[in-house]
Structure 1
């Protein structure tokens, strides 16, 4: 059985490592926490200070314009900080949703890649086992399998919103391989229809496609694992600051 179909339900063997969460660098996490804590302390000091001034004004002069102004300042600070907190929370939630959608789309791409590899493997197996000549119905079935894989890849290439350009590059590589498979099978079919024997080089080209697609899937898994690790380090964003550090 193809290795791509093994252990599909076992999270410990997930090709993208979904059972693990990349640990962020301690230095980056510490700096982020220190900055957040310092910001919260500064805000708390400002709010408490404004409230204290308002209280002292009320106590000394009663509820006058000065006390009202300081109370308004304190309330405005609370409102602004609350709004900033909500915006930041919504931004984090939006990043998580966008990442989840991107990972789901990338997993859909992997399914199509595996299906294309599976179809080409069936073609290779049946082609190499045809010891008593090539049946036209079998060849027609091979052509249909290749065209189905090609159409699926073409459909995915027209969609947008992929999690990383590596997904598009992988799809393009797979599309080239499957298009060549379609062309080779069509030429193979024409030769058999005319009663000619296909050359061994043509048969070898057709058979080798499934191995190339299998290697491409492994490369794709490695790239997506790297993308996930980068997103973990960047809090669901690509850590662009690492490129300049």
Structure 2
């Protein structure tokens, strides 16, 4: 059995004559943390949307667990174990953390089990004790972690995180990296799309660099950071 859980095969995406993805091929291994970086306009957001099913490639394939899911909508990919945490927080501010978790948990669990399961999810993301606290009283970092909690409530096999460190303090950023490593250690494959290279460095994960809609470089972070061509296009080196 292949150790590849998700694969983009020669993916092109064209918007009105503008080529956002230009033959992108990239594979994600089962059980890894994989970071995707690149300068503005590199195709990161478009790639993210094609993986989750919000956008359909103009040509090419998205393969998930050995199945061609290119034409499957997002909700059908979710049912196959793929979950997403978007950059923008989308929570019910006047409801508690437990109440926010009720929606994703009710899909797979009876109502009587939800309080205990919600408490377990909150503990998993470092929010134990906030079950009855309205979300508006949580810090920005805590709201980010609750959003991740909503994404993992169904125990997905693959979690995609879009800029999970956006707007966080140094301490919150470090705790978010710890959380991602913890989720990965439990067996979850995690894809992180980010621009904060300090955060990517802290994850010490295999990293793919996109440029003009193609895979430009790939390797462990130290290899990527030492690559002169990557430094030229992304890190600002001359």
Q: Same fold (TM over 0.5)?
A: no
Higher strand residue share? 2
The structure with the largest alpha-carbon Rg is: 1
Q: Under TM normalisation by the shorter chain, which class is it?
A: under 0.3
The structure with the largest helix share of the pair is: 1
